[in-house]
Amino acid sequence: MADAAVRKRGFTRRTFLGWWIGSLMTATIVTALPPLLVFLWPAPPKGQRKGPLTIALDTPMDQITDGQAVKFSAPTSPNSAFIMADGGGGNAAGDLAFGGFVVKNQGKINVFAINCSHLGCSIALNESAKTFDCPCHGSRFHLDGTVLRGPAPAPLSHLTWKQGSDAKTIQVDGLTLGF
């Protein structure tokens, strides 16, 4: 009798089930979607901020001589890191570096991340050989960043930089880590 009344109004049991299942699916999607989106595109951790980091060099830019490399580190208050502009081997564009070198080679200035392209150990300047040497597995790089001896498979990564407000400072693209 009730069924007949419902049917009379054009609202069958099948229509009701369709609406019910549809509502259930919509509710499930609406509930599950926000956490899924947060999982796929997480917000940057609180306090983390991209931007140029101001670095004071031990030797002003205009006093760096040919074949000289000046080491610098990322600020630690607050903790920060440089962002690699390119990469190869174990390094990739967007990877973080906690140090670098400004080097003048044949009149050209380059700024490299400190990470060896093999497994990321910190390279060091070999003053006498005028190379960058990696203490971990013996890789050696020319001052222009290219590989002189492996196992490093790729040149050193560049950092994006520009001159600061005076000859002693440079601004290097980086990330303030916020802790």
Write out the residues near ligand FES by the rule CB under 6 A. 116, 118-119, 121, 134, 136-139, 151-152
Burial bucket for residue 150 (CB in 10 Å: 0-12, 13-18, 19+): middle
Residue 102 or residue 134: which is nearer to ligand FES going by CB?
134
Residue 64 or residue 103: which is nearer to ligand FES going by CB?
103
Least Å distance between CB 139 and ligand FES? 4
In three-state form (DSSP H/G/I as H, E/B as E, the rest C), the secondary structure along 97-135 is ECEEEEEEECCEEEEEECECCCCCCECEEECCCCEEECC
Least Å distance between CB 123 and ligand FES? 7
Residue 64 or residue 157: which is nearer to ligand FES going by CB?
157
Least Å distance between CB 161 and ligand FES? 23
